[in-house]
Structure 1
């Protein structure tokens, strides 16, 4: 039995359209690639205040197509994929119970800075567990974020322990809560997006390394572009619905492109020679571990899928390699060279291409 329901357009909060956002191409590309392949491991967005970080992430969540979820399930369980189901839903499937299904917008969970671990991971009601013999679990934000986007603003101000918990869940796709010998786990597969302002301090290197991609955004300098952004915002604030309607066809086209890219992803091929070259770049830059190689491979495939191809090119790797590696280089406090430039330089040498002019 399938119940199809979605919020009527008038009652849903109107969000600034993703396709209307001017500039910030690096951030937009990183977010889209993570939506196509969440296993890339999330995005860390570092940039100045007031550069549209939160606006872009809300716009991305609004852009994504509705998903099928099991009715009244706190984990947004997938009706067919066991890896995205809670234990209760899996038991219902095994006992061949008919699952009521509803269509739902992709959830975007905003993690407040003062959140406690219980609020994030969920809590086990020990009294109920002992007196009634049932696993009484109160789901947290990770449960709500399953199959959605988890956004942490000012991630560099968040307690390191909590950042660790988020990164563990994002990497494994599961959240485990243990207390007094009782253990509960549930699916927690989400796109983790962190943002921060470099002035407020950097994230510890070992935490930064676990974000799949690192996008740097800067305040737009060109006066005509700044004027365009200000005018757009004013137009949206004046009549949000009319502004959204104006971009509706572009939004639908991008949504369709994302859905097709997700379907195409498994067919994308990355040539052995290109894979060796990627690893040579990582080796030359002295990148610790193999995360850099893995993420660059995944991101290049996701970009090829986004552009409607099944074969990765040098150009795809060129567009993603800085995003995937710049935050993994060892920092030398005395060095003034930008890490993105170093990655680009190593890429150009290994792949035998010329450095882009703007570098």
Structure 2
């Protein structure tokens, strides 16, 4: 049985539609900026993220590259691929995107990689041992319990995700490689929160809770028992749905940059940010990208107001300013009133 068949199928996860939508939007357009999933234990956070490997698309990759550089993005190649390109060209192959998981106790060297200073000084050749960020390039990087990581490690991840490159410097010697990945973090707020400065760096955020509908909870139990009794058979029973969703996401990735965004939509985004008191422009850009990705995912070539209705809350929720005595709460009805001009 393949490793993928040991994972509960993404298409059979009950409910949690916002979480699934946020993850798919980032796969369609990694520029959305990643997603932070906050919720109590036992709400399928880790199960859902790990199952994404079943629906991640294939991407063009430089054959033999240890950073699996994307040959369709020549501006962001590693030094080895740039040299091969200048010497006659790159051989490409299609590869499946992966979910790379960061260990909770990872050190800075384990994350960013390390330089062998002794080898460099004795031979004059740079020797770099890749870390998690090297593995994550072109993939999805999953950090469970992100709120329990040291702040400087979270900073390192977010900086690399924003710049698309990982920089390593030791004893005055520096090295860099592409590090373009989709960052997904999960956390239980009961175990502590991220600093506001770090929260703002995630493009989207989802707050999830367990479902209190007995029928829904029964369905969760039924599906889990069916999977546990025959993982391979259960996965095979929904293989057609899984492949259909994977193709939908792949098609949306190819079409997203051509989706039209009118000035009216951009004006609505600006008005929303002002109405909700959002500082800076990071949220505005994330809102536009998320709405465009949603339109592509739904097979449309133009962003509509409905796309903002479905995605703006994911961008705003973790950026709202709290009052002196109470936490800020996002209300969908406030968003709808803003979109309708009152």
Identify the TM-score tier after normalising by the shorter chain. over 0.9
Q: Is the 8 A contact 1:156 1:203 kept in 2?
A: yes
| TM-score normalised by the chain length of structure 2 | 0.95
How far apart in 2 are the matches of 1:228 and 1:219? 13
How far apart in 2 are the matches of 1:285 and 1:107? 36
**2:290 maps to 1:302:** no
Q: Which runs of 5+ in 2 are unaligned?
A: none
Q: Please state how far the C-alpha of 1:259 moved relative to its aligned partner.
A: 1.1
Q: Please state how far the C-alpha of 1:348 moved relative to its aligned partner.
A: 2.2
Q: Deviations over 1:259-316 (max 9, x none)?
A: 1111111111121122112111111211111111111011000000100111111111
Match of 1:20 among 4, 12, 27: 12
Q: Is the 8 A contact 1:65 1:255 kept in 2?
A: yes
How far apart in 1 are the matches of 2:10 and 2:224? 13
Cα root mean square deviation, aligned: 1.6
Structure 1 match to 2:318 = 327
Q: Please state how far the C-alpha of 1:90 moved relative to its aligned partner.
A: 1.6
Q: Please state how far the C-alpha of 1:105 moved relative to its aligned partner.
A: 2.7
Q: Please state how far the C-alpha of 1:75 moved relative to its aligned partner.
A: 0.9
Q: Map 1:1-359 onto structure 2 (within 5 A).
A: 10-14=1-5, 15-97=7-89, 99=91, 101-335=92-326, 339-341=329-331, 344-352=332-340
- SS at 2:330 equivalent: helix
- SS at 1:332 equivalent: coil
Q: Deviations over 1:86-144 (max 9, x none)?
A: 21012111101553x44433121111111100000000000001101111000000000
Structure 2 match to 1:5 = none
How far apart in 2 are the matches of 1:339 and 1:83? 41
Q: Which segment is superposed worse, 65-74 or 221-230? A: 65-74
Residue 333 to residue 229, structure 1, CA distance change in 2 (3 Å)? farther
Number of aligned residues = 341
Q: Is the 8 A contact 2:63 2:90 kept in 1?
A: no
Q: Is the 8 A contact 1:174 1:187 kept in 2?
A: yes
How far apart in 1 are the matches of 2:62 and 2:276? 46
Residue 229 to residue 287, structure 1, CA distance change in 2 (3 Å)? same
Q: Which runs of 5+ in 1 are unaligned?
A: 1-9, 355-359
| TM-score normalised by the chain length of structure 1 | 0.91
Q: Deviations over 1:29-83 (max 9, x none)?
A: 0000000000110000000101111111111122112334334422122234224
Q: Is the 8 A contact 2:134 2:179 kept in 1?
A: yes
